[in-house]
A and B are shown apart, each in its own frame.
Chain A
Amino acid sequence: MVAIALLSDFGVEEADELDLSGAWKLRQLSELPIGTVGVVESLDLPGEIQHHLMHMGFMPEARVMVVRRAPAGDPTVYSIDGFEVALRRDTAGAIRVREYEGQNTRQG
């Protein structure tokens, strides 16, 4: 219920107030299976790339959905903020996300 409320709204402060300890598990974005949604926790990339990604929407509390993998299995296409962006595994691996276990809500 709480997770759905979070997923259906983008509100940043709102997300900060929610304590979801236990329901969330910290993972690398690259580990998420296709069709799942993660909430960005932190980025650990060199300055310019991190900055670029943040301007593209990859910032704490943003929701990212794993859309599909390239035919060769890498890079992976992610949907963030209604547009799609492809990242290689090593880049996506530097983005920490929370994933709600058992959630199957698709991003609209």
Chain B
Amino acid sequence: MSECCGTTATIEAPVEPRVAGRIRTVALVGPPNSGKSTLFNRLTGLRQKVANYPGVTVEQRVGRLNGIGRGDLTLIDLPGIYGLDSYSEDARVAVDVLHGEMPGTPAPDAILLVLDSLQLRRQLMLAAPVLNLGLPTLVLLNMSDLMEARGGRVDTLALAQELGVPVAKISATRGAGLDAITHFLNRKAEAEKPVPAEGRIELPVMGNPRSYRQWATGISTRTKYKAPLSNEWTKRIDGVLLHRIWGPLIFLVVVFAVFQVVFSIGQPLSDAFGEVLNAGGGRIGALLGHGWVESLLIDGVWRGVASVLVFLPQILLLFLFIGVLEDSGYLARAALIADRVMRSIGLNGKAFIPLLSAYACAVPAIMATRTIENKRDRFATILVAPFMTCSARLPIYMLMIAAFIPNTPLLGDFFGLRAAVMLSLYVLGFVAALGTAWLLKSSILKASSAPFILELPQYRLPTVRSLSLRLVDRGKVFLRQAGTVILAVTIVLWILSHIPFHADLAGSVIGRLGQLVEPVIKPLGFNWKIGIGLLTSVLAREVIVGTLGTLYGADPATQSLGLQAALRHDLTLGGAMALVVFFAFAMQCTSTIAIVRRETNSWRWPAVQFAYMSVLAYVAALATNQAILHFVH
């Protein structure tokens, strides 16, 4: 391995990177579902950077080739594509990266082309435009172990001759055959001559799928490609899971189970985690002594960030479920079953699981919309998701219901008035989501032709490795939000509630703001304390409970009462119900705002969404309060 080749090229941006025999950046190219991400994870290990390409919503994944001991090389994972004709945003990004025209991304010096050997004939179509780029390329036939186990075969030597580039059989899930990649990269680094003679191989007319097809068919015939027998198990399982009666039943059971586990296991986990965080904060606070530093760090930063971190166990649990569903292949079947219903509200079946996840938390739900390829459908789902009743709304719902609604039995002991109010709040959020989806799809996100093209992968057992990588990945995205945006907002809120110095909360800037907005929120039945709660809960919905606790605790008139009694002393039934209705609609969640910003790659969408939801919340709360004032009393 000679490191130097006599060139003075450095890593600076506009250098001519494609110097023969010098490889620094490798691009991973492949069609969707070719096992590309699994291979990327194998080759890079856990250290990878995930970001968006500038100006688009396509995710960029970059890592070092540590997995095969070449930490000096950078691997870029391109989005899954069928061809290089720039029909889709994904393909446009891939073309720009491969041509070295993507700002901030180094031009690749070599390509690893991953093809699913179970469907080689179809996947070979991508080889034509990729080989046409003329970069050193290694073709990797992924899942070749599965192909051979099912009676498929291909002559790799003949294939290498046909394509004019080396070909290797690998299994990304098992990590087999990866040394071929090491050999390829080392040999390329030693080679004096550039790419092998290209004149020998024949490529089809570029840009025409039909000629690609004929070319690919010709090659698969000449290389004696025999497709594996289709998986009989998949057919049999589908016979049950997509059965006219069993299919929807099993689907409902799965949905119910996910719900049940996220709430019955996730909620106690989150609560326990919250207690650990609070105890930790108390310990550190004790070390710091009393003073403004302690107050800023503990009451401000630690509490604020902790109030978001407590969602981490639930989020990870939810992603574990989604991961199992997706990796096993059931997610595609769920989308197929849900499509008919989702279509009636203008969304597609792939939006079902994200919307379901939003009942736990909108943040993972919005991250899960990545499975929806159609951009308009995806944005509609993102904009609708925060209406689902997430777990952060439960503290304020429970507080107000316990304080204002008597537990009159309606249907025996199991279903009382309190449960009915709680259920109607869930329904309210769902109806708002439906209405908004309909509104969006018939206005700004009107799609003349949103197709539903869903590939049904064969069933597979999810691997622990890919599940854990997924959890680490999603956990990192969430923590980065908590570490940046939320931290900043927390500090600002703390400062606003502590200046001028020596003022109590009511006299602080935020307290004054609360009093300032009082005339605006008075028609809703809210007082200035609720106003402050609304302002602080922009950070996260559950913060209002803590804020109200502090405010009523500091007020001499209500000091001796518990929070519920204090609220009854201060609010009417109309105001209390208006408050929960407000929370059903308002986008009081910095994490959601931040994640929408990240996923849509623009501030425009979260701004529009925040404004829309706030207006809706205000109007609905106003209507609730006025209705109760006029009709109940």
CB distance from B29 to the nearest CB of A (A): 14
B214, CB-defined interface residue at 8 Å: yes
Q: Bound complex: CA of A88 vs CA of B339, how far in Å?
A: 9
**With A45-B449, A83-B119, A83-B122 as given contacts, are A51 and B340 in contact (CB-CB < 8 Å)?**
no
Among the stretches B236-244, B380-388, B531-539, B620-628, the one at the interface with A is B236-244
- Please determine whether A82 and B452 come into contact, CB atoms closer than 8 angstroms: no
**Cβ-based interface call for B188 (8 A):** no
In the complex, A84→B453 CA distance in Å? 11
Q: Is A1 an interface position by the 8 A CB rule?
A: no
Q: Does chain A have a CB within 8 A of B406?
A: no
When C-beta atoms are compared, the residue in chain B nearest to A55 turns out to be B82
Task: State which of B83-91, B422-430, B558-566 sits at the interface with chain A.
Answer: B83-91
B104 interface residue, CB < 8 Å from A? no
- Please give me the residue from chain A that is nearest to B243 by CB atom: A71
- Residues facing A in B66-106 (CB within 8 A) are 82-83, 85, 87-88
> In angstroms, how far is the closest chain B Cβ from the Cβ of A16?
11
Residue of A nearest to B241 (CB): A71
Query: In the bound complex, what is the Cα–Cα distance between A74 and B343 (angstroms)?
Result: 11
Which of A10, A12, A46, A75 has the largest number of chain B CB atoms within 10 A? Answer: A75
The verdict on A53 contacting chain B, using a C-beta distance below 8 Å, is yes
Q: Indicate if A36 sits at the interface (CB-CB under 8 A).
A: no
- Taken residue by residue from 56 to 67, chain A's Cβ proximity to chain B (1 for < 8 Å, 0 otherwise) reads as 110110000000
Contact A91 B456 (CB under 8 A): no
Q: Within the complex, what minimum Cβ distance (angstroms) separates A46 from chain B?
A: 5
The reply to whether the CB of B336 lies closer than 8 angstroms to some CB of chain A is: yes
Are A82's CB and B230's CB within 8 A? yes
B248 within 8 A of partner (CB): yes
**0 or 1 for each of B224-264: is its CB under 8 Å from A? (1 = yes):** 00011110000000100011110110000000000000000
Whether the Cβ atoms of B125 and A55 lie closer than 8 Å is yes
User: Which residue of A10, A60, A77 is within 8 Å of B456 (Cβ)?
Assistant: A77
Q: In the complex, A74→B348 CA distance in Å?
A: 12
- Give CA–CA (A56, B339) in the complex, Å: 21
Size of B's binding interface in residues, CB under 8 A:
43
* Interfacial chain B residues near A48, Cβ < 8 Å: 87-88
Pair A72/B85 contact, Cβ less than 8 Å = no
Instruction: Tell me, yes or no, whether B118 is within 8 Å of chain A by CB.
Output: yes
Contacting pair A49 B453 (CB below 8 A): yes
Contact between B118 and A55, CB atoms less than 8 A apart: no
Report if A26 contacts B (CB, 8 A). Answer: no
In the bound complex, CA of A64 to CA of B217 (Å): 16
What residues of chain A lie closer than 8 Å to B214, measured between beta carbons?
12-13
Question: With a CB–CB cut-off of 8 A, which chain A residues contact B340?
Answer: 70, 72-75
Interface presence of A4 (CB below 8 A): no
| Chain A positions within 8 Å of B31 at CB level | 55
A32 at the interface (CB under 8 A from B): no
Q: Does B55 contact A (CB under 8 A)?
A: no
| A45 to B449 alpha-carbon distance, docked (Å) | 9
CA of A108 to CA of B451 in the docked complex: distance in angstroms? 28
Chain A residues within 8 Å of B448, by CB: 46
A91 touches B122 (CB 8 A): no
- Determine if B455 is an interface residue (Cβ-Cβ < 8 Å): yes
B456 engages A86 (CB within 8 Å): yes
Residues on A with C-beta less than 8 A from B336 are: 70, 75, 77, 86
A13-56 CB mask vs B (1 if < 8 Å, else 0) is 10000000000000000000000000000000111110111111
Bound-state CA distance A57–B247 (Å) is 28
Q: Whole-angstrom distance between the alpha carbons of A85 and B83 in the complex?
A: 18
Question: Distance in Å from the Cβ of B297 to the closest Cβ of chain A?
Answer: 52
Contacts A55-B83, A60-B210, A70-B337; A82 near B217 (Cβ below 8 A):
no
Give residues of chain B (191-247) contacting chain A, Cβ–Cβ below 8 Å. Answer: 209-210, 213-214, 217, 227-230, 238, 242-245, 247
- B453/A53 in contact, CB under 8 A: yes
Asked if B454 and A86 make an inter-chain contact with CB atoms under 8 angstroms apart, the answer reads yes
Q: Known: A45-B449, A71-B243. Contact between A81 and B121, CB under 8 A?
A: yes
The distance in angstroms between the C-alpha atoms of A11 and B218, with both chains bound, is 9
Contacts of A59 in B (CB 8 A): 209-210, 213
- Which residue of chain B has its CB nearest to the CB of A80? B122
Q: A3 on the interface (CB 8 Å rule)? A: no
Residues in chain A near residue B125, CB distance under 8 A: 55
Considering the chains assembled together, what is the distance between the CA atoms of A77 and B122 in angstroms? 18
Query: Once the chains are docked, how many angstroms separate the CA of A85 from the CA of B229?
Result: 17
Is B341 engaged at the interface, CB distance under 8 Å to the other chain?
A: yes
Give the complex CA separation of A72 and B455 in angstroms.
Answer: 18
Chain A positions within 8 Å of B248 at CB level: 71
A52 touches B82 (CB 8 A): yes
**Chain B 114-136 interface 0/1 with A at a Cβ cutoff of 8 Å (1 = within):** 00001101100100000000000
| Contact yes or no, A91 B453, CB < 8 A | yes
Across the interface, B87 reaches (CB within 8 A) one of A47, A70, A73, A86, namely A47
Most chain B Cβ neighbours within 10 Å, of A11, A55, A56, A88: A55
Q: Which of A72, A75, A84 contacts B341 (CB 8 A)?
A: A72
**Interchain nearest-CB distance for A48 vs B (Å):** 5
Q: Which residue of B lies closest to A74 (CB)?
A: B340
User: For residue B126, which residue of chain A has the nearest CB?
Assistant: A55
Structural contact, B247 and A71, CB atoms closer than 8 A: yes
Which of B87, B122, B242, B244 lies in contact with A51, CB distance below 8 A?
A: B87
Q: How far is the CA of A49 from the CA of B449 in the complex (A)?
A: 9
Whose C-beta in chain B lies nearest to the C-beta of A71?
A: B247
Q: B332 contacts which chain A residues (CB < 8 A)?
A: 86
Measured in the bound complex, the distance between the Cα atoms of B448 and A45 in whole Å is: 12
Bound-state Cα–Cα, A34 to B330, Å: 22
B564 to A: closest C-beta gap in Å: 46
Q: Once the chains are docked, how many angstroms separate the CA of A68 from the CA of B240?
A: 12
CB–CB B213/A12 < 8 A: yes
A68 and B119 contact, CB distance less than 8 A? no
Query: By the criterion CB–CB under 8 Å, are A85 and B121 in contact?
Result: no
> Can you pick out 18 interface pairs between chain A and chain B where the beta carbons lie within 8 Å of each other?
A11-B217, A46-B448, A46-B449, A47-B87, A53-B453, A55-B31, A55-B82, A68-B238, A70-B339, A71-B243, A72-B340, A77-B238, A81-B227, A82-B227, A83-B118, A86-B453, A86-B455, A91-B452
The 6 closest A-B pairs by CB, nearest first: A55-B82, A72-B340, A54-B209, A84-B456, A86-B454, A71-B247
